Amino acid sequence: MRKRRLTKSEKATLEKIHSMQMTTLFRLKERAEVLIKSSDDILKKVADNGINHHYSKNSDVLRYAQELWSACMRLGELKAMCNDLEYTYGKKNK
């Protein structure tokens, strides 16, 4: 069976998804780096001061971890969407 070429609209859709993937990937990396830095700061406080330090009741570590998880979830969803569209458009072998 011969593959058909993608239309301009189909190409634009795949390019838009790719752009969203790249934006989300950048966000994922950024959030991972911030989470690591925050975790390292907490570990340093623990090592330096133990229980004598004033630890935050509202640490941002949970928020960073949730944002990291959310970016991973979005990348997974975008990849699945891209794969579905490529299969539908005939770009991938059936």
CB 68 within 8 A of CB 35: yes
- Dist. CA 32–CA 38, nearest whole Å: 10
pLDDT, residue 91, reads: 61
- Domain range summary for the chain, segments of one domain joined by +: 8-89
- Dist. CA 22–CA 25, nearest whole Å: 5
Judge whether residue 94 has pLDDT over 50: no
Angle at which helix 8-49 crosses helix 61-89, to 10 degrees, equals 160
Query: What pLDDT band is residue 11 in, cutting at 50, 70 and 90?
Result: confident
Classified as helix, coil or strand, 59 is: coil
pLDDT, residue 7, reads: 82
pTM recorded for the entire structure: 0.78
Judge whether residue 57 has pLDDT over 50: yes
How does 49-83 read in b/e, with b if 16+ C-beta sit within 10 Å? eeeeeeeeeeeeeeebeebbeebeebbeebeeebe
Q: Average pLDDT of the chain?
A: 88
